[in-house]
Structure 1
Amino acid sequence: MVGLRRVRRSLVEHLTVLDASFLEAEDSDPHVSLAIGAISVMEGPLPDEDALASALRKRMLTIPRCRQMLRTYPFDVGAPEWVEDANLDLAHHLRRAAVAEPGDDHALFRLVGYIMERRLDRDHPMWECWVIEGLADNQWAILIKLHHCMADGIAAMQVISAMSDDGGGDTFASQIRAATEPDRARIALPRLTLDPLAWIQGAWHASNAVANVSARAIDVAVGVVRGVVRPAAASSFIGSVNTMRRYSAARVSLDDVTQVCHAYDVTINDVALAAITDSYRAALIRRGEQPKPNSVRTLVPVSVRSNDAVGQAHNLVSAMLVYLPVDEADPVKRLTIVHTRLSKAKGSGQRQAASLIATGADYLPFAVSARVVRALARLPQRSVVTVTTNVPGARQPVRVLGRKVLRVLPIAPIALQVRIGIAISSYASDLSFGITADYDTAPDVDQLAEGIESGLAHLVASSKRPPRSSVGTEG
């Protein structure tokens, strides 16, 4: 039991409600594991076990979260705390596995699906490092797996980058919107404390900020809730999930993506979502289903992590909800619609409203917020069909123990009756898409990956025809 283990108490750090919600969502469904991660595929030869263990100890264990475990309270009388594990044993976290012959991507992806479907042990720091051997062409891989309550995608990528010889170097994270713009919707609400004078003072200082944004945020939040309760069109993408997982990945050239961006005056996210839309459309048709305007609604996590918050390990994300135009047959028109819908969602205040709700939840007693999250997690939902998250990676190739990292493939979890999740990650000159899917729902997961690659190819081919044209608005 966690409460019986000897822990070293230092400065106590509580989980936010958003962090703890990933634990509650996992507890609400025995079929899900809310671990995130990434696979780094490297050139050989494989280092010996002592060298790997030494690197892991020197690099990963410098990160506080990798040395900390959860301390929980009965009846949710307080938020879970991060405390140092005084009995930390690296053997609990360093694992080894070998892929089946012939050691190709199919074999690697089968192993990834198996590893990610297993839940992390909450009696220890909630992460694992898997060393995977047996890959073709004298390659090997490291899979870093950690619980979503520890970190969001950007923070997780920083943890993963800690294994590299130079700590990961410069990343694309500095280009995200929150890193370059002040988030005026974030409000420092007072946290619950036993000191009534401190609480009243904090509440007084927060009240003016709340008054400035709360009316608009509430209006937007009501609209978001109305959208969430509106079910998507019936399709094979909707339904419960089982315990087993499938995984596959697509990889495209960032130069090709940039070419499309320049040709149509759109963003990398626009192009990535348009390629994903192409794949979902093809999948529906392949399954004998009619693509409809409301067939595929995706939840798009949005980072609210400023450059000042780079060192913070917990989740700093908001979210937007967007319908993918799978009903549109023309690739360029799909890109136009994706661009317009994302722009409208960004301008509508969805991101700020979701951030305000998450911040406000921290203001409530944890017992109340935990019960609300737990109840919501158990409700059936048929509105959000998929999750699509973008995690910036290193700008330049990196090395681990002198071995070059050839590619980095992100891994997203699925939960809350979402059967398919796609994580997007940039690394050097590549943009990779990692697809996690319910085993029974997506036997065609490899075709979903191929569909993303062909979706981008369609846009690249179209971008070469006109010299330059701007994306218009959705009609």
Structure 2
Amino acid sequence: MEQLTTLDAGFLEAEDSDPHVSLAIGAVAVLAGPMPDFDSLAADLADRIRAVPRFRQVLHTQPLDLGAPRWADDDAFDVFHHVRRAALPRPGDDEALFRWVAEVMERRLDRERPLWECWVVDGLVHHRWAILMKVHHCIADGVAATRLLTQLADDRGGEIFGTGIHPARPRRSASRLPALPLNPIDWVSLAWRTSRGVTSAATQVVQGALELVDGLLRPAAASSLTGPVTDMRRFAAVEVSLSDVERIGARFGVTVNDVALAAITDSYRTMLLQRGESLAPNSLRTLVPVSVRSSDATGKTDNRVSVMLPYLPVDKADPVEQLKKVHARLTKAKGSGQRQAGNVLLAAANALPFPLTAWTVRALTRLPQRGIVTLATNVPGPRRRIRIAGREVVRLLPVPPLALQLRTGIAILSYADHLAFGIIGDYDAAPDVEEIAGGIRRAITRLTGLASGHWRSTPVGTLALVQGG
């Protein structure tokens, strides 16, 4: 039986610490209709799902957490306990779809069975239908979950945007170690350079660890975005043109992820102002997961992530200044060792006795935390459009979880020529998730206009149309 890592098990502990939390992640694939016969579709999906070992396994926990939970084959496994059918009420528009997605995602998965569900839902507008894949976070991170989703595709997936990802600390093979100099006198120089490199790397990890601890312990500005949550959710999503995002990145010398986070920054700024809240430089410290998955581990079903904790500049009104601040802060965070420190800390935790780490995670997740205000995670999706049961997937929308007293969270997923933002929120504390989605769209539209020269920033941070542009 395969044992869960400390990080994998941590998602179970975080879920157990709050009865109102479900730590499942999801993705909604909207397909061009009409929907095939459900029985034949379910049988086809079942065959593909059986090919994923983790989907046929159940968790075995140890009494008193004396050992880490283990995966074991489920002797009573029945795939049709997990492949289910639903239908949207009329008119079957986005509002109805998003409401249904929120209701499915807010319910916890049954730990007596393999921790996943696959929902087939009919009744969408324009003769469309959808598949919602729901997987517990202890099984997979965003990259691995995307891989699992593409296993349902007719061509069993394809190349995804993250195919060439590299770990935060690439391991150097023996063949790549520096050659030993022939002259023994040069050995001292080599030893000095090597020790300096090791010391520099260690210093970077220590600095990154200190920044992570500071980010977790230093309270952010008071915000309605953190606090207790209910067991009900709201969901909204928005899609933007990936070519527009890339054009913005090329114009201002930033990455796609920078542009996405800048759009999120501007949307949160608008929402917080509408809520009547004051904005400060420390108003929106954001948990940004970072993949440390090497290319040779792309097919592994587990969690391989570290984190960064940047402040998103909601105190800045000008969209270009927001974008430049996001880029500068992400660059600084990447260079500070936060990713490496998170990776090292997780590796060290795996070496500790599991009862100690389980107790620590459970205790920490039950404490009220005020350092992190929201979540923004970016996941690479399929490069080209995929087909399931002969039908084209026309939309692919991510669904993040809520935990740690965060009342909103955003997942970003690239699919073919679009970038999709999925926003989850507590039903009572975040009734404005649709406004967050709308704010992201407006922010990308404005940045696209600025990148093309059709708009310009004014001294007070507003935008004006360039006459004749």
TM-score by length of 2: 0.89
**2:3 is equivalent to residue 14 of structure 1:** yes
Counterpart for residue 314 of structure 2: 326
Moved over 3 A (4+): 175-178, 209-216
What per-residue deviation string (whole Å, max 9, x for no partner) do you get for residues 412-446 of structure 1? 00101011110000001000000011111111111
What per-residue deviation string (whole Å, max 9, x for no partner) do you get for residues 418-475 of structure 1? 11110000001000000011111111111110000001111101111199xxxxxxxx
Counterpart for residue 140 of structure 2: 151
Counterpart for residue 197 of structure 1: none
The structure 2 residue matched to 1:359, chosen from 330, 347, 353, is 347
**2:233 is equivalent to residue 245 of structure 1:** yes
The structure 1 residue matched to 2:97, chosen from 96, 102, 108, is 108
- Indicate conservation of the 8 Å contact 2:215/2:372, yes or no: no
CA distance in 2, matches of 1:95, 1:466: 48
What per-residue deviation string (whole Å, max 9, x for no partner) do you get for residues 363-400 of structure 1? 01111111111111111101101010011111111100
Counterpart for residue 201 of structure 1: none
Counterpart for residue 293 of structure 1: 281
- Indicate conservation of the 8 Å contact 2:157/2:382, yes or no: yes
Task: Name the Cα RMSD after superposition.
Answer: 1.9
Q: Partner amino acid for 2:269?
A: R
CA distance in 2, matches of 1:233, 1:226: 14
Taking the TM superposition and a 5 Å limit, the aligned residue runs for 1:264-275 are 264-275=252-263
- Indicate conservation of the 8 Å contact 1:297/1:322, yes or no: yes
The structure 2 residue matched to 1:277, chosen from 265, 277, 298, is 265
Offset of 1:86 from its aligned partner? 1.3
Offset of 1:216 from its aligned partner? 4.0
Offset of 1:183 from its aligned partner? 2.5
**2:26 is equivalent to residue 37 of structure 1:** yes
Counterpart for residue 347 of structure 1: 335
CA distance in 1, matches of 2:244, 2:81: 42
CA distance in 2, matches of 1:211, 1:55: 55
Offset of 1:211 from its aligned partner? 8.2
**2:124 is equivalent to residue 140 of structure 1:** no
TM-score by length of 1: 0.88
CA distance in 1, matches of 2:209, 2:171: 17
The structure 2 residue matched to 1:167, chosen from 156, 172, 176, is 156
CA distance in 2, matches of 1:25, 1:185: 34
Q: Partner amino acid for 2:343?
A: S
CA distance in 1, matches of 2:249, 2:345: 33
CA distance in 2, matches of 1:17, 1:168: 29
What per-residue deviation string (whole Å, max 9, x for no partner) do you get for residues 37-65 of structure 1? 10000011111122222222211110111
Unaligned runs of 5+ in 2: 174-196, 456-469
Counterpart for residue 49 of structure 1: 38
Distance change (3 Å), C-alpha of 1:211 and 1:314: farther
Offset of 1:91 from its aligned partner? 2.1
Counterpart for residue 96 of structure 1: 85
Taking the TM superposition and a 5 Å limit, the aligned residue runs for 1:350-389 are 350-389=338-377
Percentage of pairs with the same residue: 55
CA distance in 2, matches of 1:71, 1:42: 36
Q: Partner amino acid for 2:78?
A: D
CA distance in 1, matches of 2:200, 2:49: 42
**2:47 is equivalent to residue 58 of structure 1:** yes
Distance change (3 Å), C-alpha of 1:312 and 1:211: farther
Moved more, 22-31 or 212-221: 212-221
CA distance in 1, matches of 2:210, 2:204: 10
CA distance in 2, matches of 1:383, 1:393: 30
CA distance in 2, matches of 1:115, 1:308: 33
Q: Which has the larger radius of gyration?
A: 2
Give the length in aligned residue pairs. 433
Taking the TM superposition and a 5 Å limit, the aligned residue runs for 1:124-139 are 124-139=113-128
- Three-state SS of the structure 1 residue aligned to 2:309 is strand
Distance change (3 Å), C-alpha of 1:218 and 1:63: same
Distance change (3 Å), C-alpha of 1:215 and 1:347: closer
What per-residue deviation string (whole Å, max 9, x for no partner) do you get for residues 163-221 of structure 1? 1101121110124453xx753599xxxxxxxxxxxxxxxxxxxxxx9988555423421
- Three-state SS of the structure 1 residue aligned to 2:419 is strand
Counterpart for residue 411 of structure 1: 399
Counterpart for residue 313 of structure 1: 301
Q: Partner amino acid for 1:143?
A: L
